[in-house]
Chain A
């Protein structure tokens, strides 16, 4: 390559850099920075969104002068109303866009910055992911367990949440200590044995137990069935029901357990039920009421009543799971 060729290549690269704005010859660097900080375009972006939906997006206070005057006090972006705020700039059909958004819980109408998300949509997503992570890696509040006199036992998981996630087999077995404690404290051969397990969401237990527990207890007693001694299992998987069945020999085991959190939805709980659960039983031997949560899922009060109904049906047919379906 000769010098002329090299010079031509360098010229072309410099030209390209200039065109792309990476190199500016006429702008003083310090000035460019200053103009960004006070740029009216930059500051007015949220306002143009607000114009398209004045009732939903509050006008944010703008800082003027010193930072002492800065006053940021934001409303919750996760309310159903805030979630439905269209983020598309200048939509062709604003009402049509709202109707499209109302037709699904998927994140559409979210807008963009170049080919990336609008800031509001990005941060809402991250907030929703954060709540699921916190639910997963935290323990159920002891005060709640005390409220219902639930004593705690543990599965064979000893290495904390990490081992719980890595070894589903250990979460399906009660520890030797647990078996000993249960044998000592629990009434045997009861009609309905209620057990609470953390599963994959502490938040799900905290959100639903206060409503659901009393409904089940009352329902069982109204049906003249024995309720037994309920307790809490830490690091529980659904399969741990088999161990509970073998130890207590109840007619029906009900396990309330936190489900794997969806994005922004950590409060969903399931009630797994089995008739005389024993070693080797699988999901085919169980019934489940899932998606238990308020506002959109199966309401916990109704779910509690439903659980009592299923328990009675199981006792009547002496079966659960696929066998119960066939018996109907």
Chain B
């Protein structure tokens, strides 16, 4: 295999697909840490030049972890629609990029092609996309799903109500849910990250959130984002579960570090179809994020973009209701600053949509990254333009439990009003009936959590 190009008179040669893929990435501190990033800006572009000429079949035959060593590779490779794959396998990555962006390529054509792709092919084309390419391309491939309501329809933008509390106090969480609902946050899910992962604590929060949903007839679903095994126990014990959640990684070793396996998630999915209270047919919720494999030394020497794409191939197996990258949560050693976080957010959303899953984004940062709330608002605007399904809704974007900052309860209505988007249709009707929204705009009544104190 020869992977070589000249650029401005200098010759660049890459020993294998793994390093070619790593060096073709936009700059990320995590790729440096993994030793696969480009040494110079010119080397980065040289890698992109060579990658653009690589046929898709070569990427299929170069999974980040070999088939016989990794069950995530097997999940992705076994799911490939061979007849679709045979139609596209001889395209180069550069041709594939142009095909996605071409005006003659329709949404239906991309959805069909999705079934012939592997994660390495998806990551490959993403490396050749500029930021606006990633927005324009993603906008062409909406993916919607249904649980108690519909997420991801063109013209809509949803918001996860994320009412975390430092001690899991049901009263405090309830107060935060009220604040969020009063701004129209919660059409994706009312999703609580618990401090205490025990069965009794998780079951208590499921009961409390379900009680709010029932009392106010809210067309949505609840979720307590504990380890999946705790939620399985809750389902088996009769707790009201809306969505079943788990953090996932792009390799078997990475999933080991999360204490999960394909078999375990298969089992959780079967339980969800049987026990979850909403109508469905989509019941699963996954979170991901570039760098999590590297941090668990489970990246097998590959770059974080490829490993992230593999998460989406894994998620697709379970027809999820929603999937989001928690893009800036991992810290500056993987995504150093606002520029890298924004790039990763756009990449992840694009890759999820190209995989064919209903993709949202936790546009976020930690306090030791070179980023601030303005950077995250910028990312949210870019992703809304790209057709992102949903964002997080936190009280002013500040998570008082997880100590990081994300998008806020206010951001969803602002983005909706800015882009002439609406909440999920069932949820909008609920807001209108309650007098919180009129013609897509918040009413005077909105923003006051005390309206939920009496029914």
Q: Are B29 and A166 in contact (CB under 8 A)?
A: yes
Select one of B173, B336, B413, B445 contacting A166, CB under 8 A.
B336
Q: Are A108 and B33 in contact (CB under 8 A)?
A: no
* Nearest residue, chain A, Cβ from B444: A90
Q: Are B396 and A110 in contact (CB under 8 A)?
A: yes
Q: Are A115 and B417 in contact (CB under 8 A)?
A: yes
> Does chain B have a CB within 8 A of A261?
yes
Select one of B410, B416, B449 contacting A100, CB under 8 A.
B449
A110 to B396, alpha carbons, bound, how many Å?
8
> Does chain B have a CB within 8 A of A145?
no
A299 to B413, alpha carbons, bound, how many Å?
41
Q: Are B373 and A125 in contact (CB under 8 A)?
A: yes
Q: Are B176 and A108 in contact (CB under 8 A)?
A: yes
Q: Are B367 and A94 in contact (CB under 8 A)?
A: no
> Does chain A have a CB within 8 A of B447?
yes
Select one of B166, B400, B447 contacting A88, CB under 8 A.
B447
Instruction: Take A108-B179, A110-B395 as given contacts and tell me if A103 and B169 are in contact as well, using a CB distance cutoff of 8 Å.
Output: yes
A227 to B333, alpha carbons, bound, how many Å?
35
A167 to B35, alpha carbons, bound, how many Å?
12
> Does chain A have a CB within 8 A of B18?
no
Select one of A92, A121, A126 contacting B448, CB under 8 A.
A92
Q: Mark B421-455, 1 if CB is under 8 A from A, else 0.
A: 00000000000000000000010011111110110
Q: Are B333 and A125 in contact (CB under 8 A)?
A: no
Chain A residues near B447: list those with CB within 8 A: 88, 111-112
Select one of A97, A106, A126 contacting B165, CB under 8 A.
A106
Q: Are B175 and A263 in contact (CB under 8 A)?
A: no
Q: Are A167 and B33 in contact (CB under 8 A)?
A: yes
Q: Are A101 and B403 in contact (CB under 8 A)?
A: no
> Does chain A have a CB within 8 A of B172?
yes
Q: Are B333 and A103 in contact (CB under 8 A)?
A: no
> Does chain B have a CB within 8 A of A148?
no
- For residues 95 through 140 of chain A, which have their beta carbon under 8 Å from a beta carbon of chain B? 96-97, 100-101, 103-112, 114-117, 121, 125-126, 128-129, 132-133, 136
Q: How many residues of B contact A (CB 8 A)?
A: 49
Q: Are B367 and A165 in contact (CB under 8 A)?
A: no
* Nearest residue, chain A, Cβ from B415: A115
Chain A residues near B445: list those with CB within 8 A: 92
Q: Are A263 and B367 in contact (CB under 8 A)?
A: yes
Q: Are B333 and A105 in contact (CB under 8 A)?
A: no
Q: Are A88 and B395 in contact (CB under 8 A)?
A: no
> Does chain A have a CB within 8 A of B366?
yes
Residue of B397, B410, B446, B450 contacting most chain A CB atoms (<10 Å) = B450
Chain B residues near A214: list those with CB within 8 A: none
Select one of B163, B332, B413 contacting A106, CB under 8 A.
B163
Q: Are B172 and A104 in contact (CB under 8 A)?
A: yes
> Does chain B have a CB within 8 A of A58?
no
Chain B residues near A94: list those with CB within 8 A: 450
Select one of B397, B410, B454 contacting A112, CB under 8 A.
B410
Q: Mark A61-99, 1 if CB is under 8 A from B, else 0.
A: 000000000000000000000000000101111101100
How far is the CB of B441 from the nearest CB of chain A, in Å? 8
> Does chain B have a CB within 8 A of A200?
yes
A23 to B32, alpha carbons, bound, how many Å?
52
Q: Are B450 and A91 in contact (CB under 8 A)?
A: yes
Q: Are B32 and A166 in contact (CB under 8 A)?
A: yes
Q: Are A109 and B179 in contact (CB under 8 A)?
A: yes
How far is the CB of A293 from the nearest CB of chain B, in Å? 13
> Does chain B have a CB within 8 A of A262?
yes
> Does chain A have a CB within 8 A of B368?
yes
A308 to B437, alpha carbons, bound, how many Å?
58
How far is the CB of A229 from the nearest CB of chain B, in Å? 30
> Does chain A have a CB within 8 A of B171?
yes
Chain B residues near A115: list those with CB within 8 A: 183, 410, 413-414, 416-417, 442
A126 to B333, alpha carbons, bound, how many Å?
24
Instruction: Take A108-B175, A260-B368, A263-B403 as given contacts and tell me if A97 and B448 are in contact as well, using a CB distance cutoff of 8 Å.
Output: yes
> Does chain B have a CB within 8 A of A168?
yes
Q: Are A132 and B367 in contact (CB under 8 A)?
A: yes
Q: Are A96 and B176 in contact (CB under 8 A)?
A: no
Q: Are B367 and A260 in contact (CB under 8 A)?
A: yes
How far is the CB of A292 from the nearest CB of chain B, in Å? 15
> Does chain A have a CB within 8 A of B398?
yes
Q: Are B333 and A93 in contact (CB under 8 A)?
A: no
> Does chain A have a CB within 8 A of B372?
yes
Q: Are B453 and A93 in contact (CB under 8 A)?
A: yes
Select one of B173, B372, B398 contacting A107, CB under 8 A.
B398
Q: Are A97 and B450 in contact (CB under 8 A)?
A: yes
